Structure 1
Amino acid sequence: MRPLGGRSATPRERLVVVGHGMAATRFVEQLVAGGYPGHVTVIGEEPVPAYNRILLSAVLEGTHDASAIRLRSPEWYAEHGVELRLGTRVLTVDREHGDVMLVDGTCVPFDRLVLATGAIPTLPPIRGLVRPDGSLHPRVHAFRSLADCERLLAVLPVDAARAVVIGGGLLGLQVARALSVRGVATEVVEGGDTVLSRQVTPAAGTILARSLTQLGTTVYTGARATKLIDHPEEGGPIGVQLDNGFVLDADLIVLTAGGRPSVALARGAGLQVRRGIVVDEHLASPTDPRIHAIGDCAQHAGQVTGFVPPAWEQAVVLAQRLCGADLDYRGSRNVARLRATDLEVAVLGDPVAEPGEIVEVSNPVAGKHSRLVVRDGVIVAAALVGDLSRVGLITQAYDRGTVLGVREPGDLLLPETAAPLAPLPDDAEVCACAGVTAGAVRACGSLAEAQERTRATTGCGGCTQVCSRLVGEVPVREPREPREPREVVSPVRS
């Protein structure tokens, strides 16, 4: 085995992973696959095994059972000799003594430490959101964990006929659509000029908001919630006052706006921290090379990603390094998908800010908008709303940096009926989250086998349709009748 960091990993090396989310799970999977000889301990704060957070909205919507989004069982860890401690929180990291202290006073020694602590939600500045004892208002729900999802499901639909979702980003729209599918009259409040303002242009955001309205979800942009108003009626709705003076009545409020890297442990240990935990090309802290960070908590080259594909790529690179490979992490391209029934959105890179020549096709009547940013003939960013028929080919060109001909960017945005799609070649990447090719999926006998062998569809879930077709399983979805949007804005109560 090639020496790593000046010495070989030995069976006596004690590796501790703090965090048990998607990045940590991918990291441990890769350690197992690479034959890492050390002893691995994984410490997770939640009492349940790791699950796919991206698909929590699918559980809320009812298209997935909670058990279906679990990543690995405790038995899998035990089978591969990995010590898994669930329902346990790390209190401090002691670099001098080389151990982490748990809240119960137990110290777990390490020779190498990986921080995969993820991100924590930030509370918007809304008066009345937090009670004097520090707890959230009983009608307010966060949506970051499986426990949050289960608490929300417990009040649906009997106790929640109306909901207000704070935040019109990817998570906010997924939650809003899930509630709407559950029969809850849902409204979205977004402070930006359009929904998904960080991912798509105003034109695309407007089309997406119109599509949501047609599906029964009312969207308010350019407005911020400022105050919760408890009405005097026992068991009645509460009011959400906006900065424009209107009040929205709601039985529940869901917070999806904002999150920040979880860096408290790193800061307490004296590691270099800016927005996230600073790491170098080895995903190691410049303060202490024994300590690494991956996923939402890590900051590499000044960037904090917050998406699944970079987190998984970091996990793969670090695991392979610890297994002896001479690899560096050079950054990742971001790929984001909106996981919601009847809403199709894919974003590659930064189509809002990336410089280049713009190729756009827009059909607001049909609810479709496509945008490519091309520089020197190469797609450097893209946003597709309402039509993902060409997302596989576009992603392939984007990932490979393919130099396109003069007409090719425009041809890629033509509807499928205008020019039949050629079959995806075996080396075309179909799952950006896990880096899985069409050939790898075709080699599987079923979608379940593809999920187990390649992890395809277990990230954002956006490639499920493509992967299903590659293995000959075409999922059939019942058509849904859109509900008429309703007016629920009322004047400010005196």
Structure 2
Amino acid sequence: MSSEATAGDVLSQSAPPQKRIVIIGGGMAAARLVEGLVARGLGSQTTVLAEEPHVPYNRILLSAVLEGTHRPGALALREKQWYADRGVDLRLGSLVVDIHRDTKTVELADRTRVPYDAVVLATGAIPTLPPIRGVVRMDGSMDPRVQAFRSLDDCARLLDTLHDHPHGKPRSAVIVGGGLLGLQVSRALAVRGIETEIVEGRDHLLSSQVDASAGKVLKRSMAKLGTQVYLGARATRLTDEGLRLDNGYTLETDLVVLTAGGRPRANLARRAELTVNRGIVVDDQLRSVDDPDVYAIGDCAEHNATTTGFVSPAWEQAGVLAEVLAGNEAAYEGHRVVARLRATDLDVCVLGEPQHESGEVVEIANPIKGTHRKLVVRDGRIVAGALVGDLSRVGLITQAFDRQTVLGEHEAGKLLLPEPSAAGSGVPTLPDDAEICACAGVSAGRIRACTSLEDVRDSTRATTGCGGCAPTVRQLLATRPNSTQQPSDTKLSLEGTTS
């Protein structure tokens, strides 16, 4: 080395090259990962290849847009300028067609290549098309009466159909699928004055989340809200007369919305010869088991033989991976899923997998009032639960579930009783350490420390996930000393697919 070399020259020669991080996907998991990388000083080393033309947005609140309680523009998780200001190379409308592991490059549809040192698959899930004859026409196009509902563009097309239907506003709609998304879409359309019916192939609603007793309560509640539900029936053919079911009935309808199921989007991983079962198989550091430079998070990832379609696990995975990519020790050990649906006049919260967990069952139901509350308790701890129709104590129950608090002999039963403070949400009695936002892991104390809803969103990210915590957050802010904010009764959306 020349004696004239400066200290800066020595530093630049000895410093390791910056790691080039490429994220494939522009959903909620990808957006959360970018936030984590930015917080660790890796924003300028990050490229995001998003297939959709929109900045990453809150996909779970799409039904709130359909219902009319949110504007489409309000769903953006971060504005485009936010990425630019932090050095993140956000490329919208970028379709990835191949990952070339031998040359460590990602190939786009226009044949350009993006080099990487670490590549993250955050490609989410794709909807499954039910085998209904007549949905796809002979020329390969979709029948104009049929709409999918998964993306912002899907939502825009459905709204256009509601406003510009050739025969005027649709009078009726059939929702294919009685899961979380199906119930949400049904309520959103009903709020807009459209007569809705749900077709569900299994024997009760939300069959993946709740038992038959809770499903009956939900069906009764939907009937009170004006929605007819057909259980144990499958749609087989779309005809000029309507949607034909396998039980012989034909439902006359102007509109069919498909919400039945999805699967991890793992085609890129398969093409790259990575191990894929249901999802892309990853280890505790979210690395592909075949390549230490390839990672996967969110709906497309499979960890410990488990895939998930919820916000909170995807965001926890993003946090762990941000640490790993920053060179720190971190491991993903699984997450206790809290699935929340909050639509107008319809409240559901599911903790874990109450259908599959074993333990003592504590249950209170009032079908006439439309409530069903169930906890599965093992060794004094809540291991699963389902609450339908009354979420007044969901904060305390979620806290006990998430922290695996050991309960006293009668505590589980008391948690299922309505909050004694009349008609209230229970918010004034929530301790500071009670978890309010399951998606972002935010406590009541952190909410109370904020000065406004905007402050909550920016500093804690609460309300930016499933949106189910928004009413409680508003009430907590309204009860702060000297607060001028008023609690809102606005009910939002569900926690469902993420990426």
* TM-score where L is the length of structure 2: 0.91
1:308 maps to amino acid? V
Please, which of 213, 222, 228 is the counterpart of residue 212 of structure 1? 222
Q: Distance in 1 between matches of 2:172 and 2:77?
A: 33
How far is 1:417 from its partner?
Answer: 2.8
How far is 1:9 from its partner?
Answer: 10
Deviates more, 1:255-264 or 1:135-144: 135-144
The residue matched to 2:368 in structure 1 has which SS?
A: helix
Residue in structure 1 matched with residue 263 of structure 2 by the alignment:
260
Q: Distance in 1 between matches of 2:97 and 2:130?
A: 26
**Alpha-carbon displacement from aligned partner over 1:139-169 (angstroms, at most 9, x marks no partner):** 1000000000010001215331110000000
1:186 maps to amino acid? T
Q: Distance in 2 between matches of 1:449 and 1:9?
A: 38
Please, which of 174, 177, 190 is the counterpart of residue 187 of structure 2? 177
Q: Distance in 2 between matches of 1:306 and 1:229?
A: 33
1:390 maps to amino acid? R
Residue in structure 1 matched with residue 359 of structure 2 by the alignment:
356
- Whether contact under 8 Å (1:160, 1:251) holds in the other structure is yes
Residue in structure 2 matched with residue 149 of structure 1 by the alignment:
155
Q: Trace 1:332-371 onto structure 2 (pairs within 5 A).
A: 332-371=335-374
How far is 1:458 from its partner?
Answer: 1.1
Q: Distance in 2 between matches of 1:227 and 1:37?
A: 50
Please, which of 94, 97, 100 is the counterpart of residue 94 of structure 1? 100
How far is 1:322 from its partner?
Answer: 1.5
The residue matched to 1:153 in structure 2 has which SS?
A: helix
The residue matched to 1:183 in structure 2 has which SS?
A: coil
How far is 1:37 from its partner?
Answer: 6.7
Residue in structure 1 matched with residue 73 of structure 2 by the alignment:
67
State the identity as a percent. 61
Q: Distance in 2 between matches of 1:93 and 1:36?
A: 22
1:214 maps to amino acid? K
Q: Distance in 1 between matches of 2:139 and 2:306?
A: 36
Deviates more, 1:30-39 or 1:240-249: 30-39
Residue in structure 1 matched with residue 497 of structure 2 by the alignment:
none
**Alpha-carbon displacement from aligned partner over 1:435-465 (angstroms, at most 9, x marks no partner):** 1111111111111210121110111111111
2:198 maps to amino acid? V
Q: Trace 1:270-285 onto structure 2 (pairs within 5 A).
A: 270-285=273-288
How far is 1:268 from its partner?
Answer: 0.3
Q: Trace 1:315-394 onto structure 2 (pairs within 5 A).
A: 315-394=318-397
Q: Distance in 1 between matches of 2:179 and 2:377?
A: 25
Residue in structure 2 matched with residue 249 of structure 1 by the alignment:
252
Deviates more, 1:298-307 or 1:409-418: 409-418
How far is 1:475 from its partner?
Answer: 3.6
Residue in structure 2 matched with residue 186 of structure 1 by the alignment:
196
Task: Say how many residue pairs are matched.
Answer: 465
1:387 maps to amino acid? D
1:114 maps to amino acid? V
Gaps of 5+ in 1: 1-7, 232-238, 480-494
How far is 1:416 from its partner?
Answer: 1.4
The residue matched to 1:156 in structure 2 has which SS?
A: helix
1:163 maps to amino acid? A
Residue in structure 1 matched with residue 297 of structure 2 by the alignment:
294
1:434 aligns with 2:437: no
- Whether contact under 8 Å (2:374, 2:387) holds in the other structure is yes
Please, which of 135, 152, 175 is the counterpart of residue 165 of structure 1? 175
The residue matched to 1:471 in structure 2 has which SS?
A: helix
How has the CA–CA distance of structure 1 residues 478 and 388 changed in structure 2, closer, same or farther, with 3 Å as cutoff?
closer
The residue matched to 1:371 in structure 2 has which SS?
A: strand
Runs of 4+ in 1 over 4 A off after TM superposition: 8-11, 418-422
How has the CA–CA distance of structure 1 residues 478 and 118 changed in structure 2, closer, same or farther, with 3 Å as cutoff?
closer
How far is 1:311 from its partner?
Answer: 0.4
- Whether contact under 8 Å (2:223, 2:229) holds in the other structure is yes
Deviates more, 1:284-293 or 1:126-135: 126-135
**Alpha-carbon displacement from aligned partner over 1:56-103 (angstroms, at most 9, x marks no partner):** 000000011111111011101000000010011001110001101100
1:15 maps to amino acid? I
* TM-score where L is the length of structure 1: 0.92
How far is 1:476 from its partner?
Answer: 3.8
How far is 1:418 from its partner?
Answer: 7.3
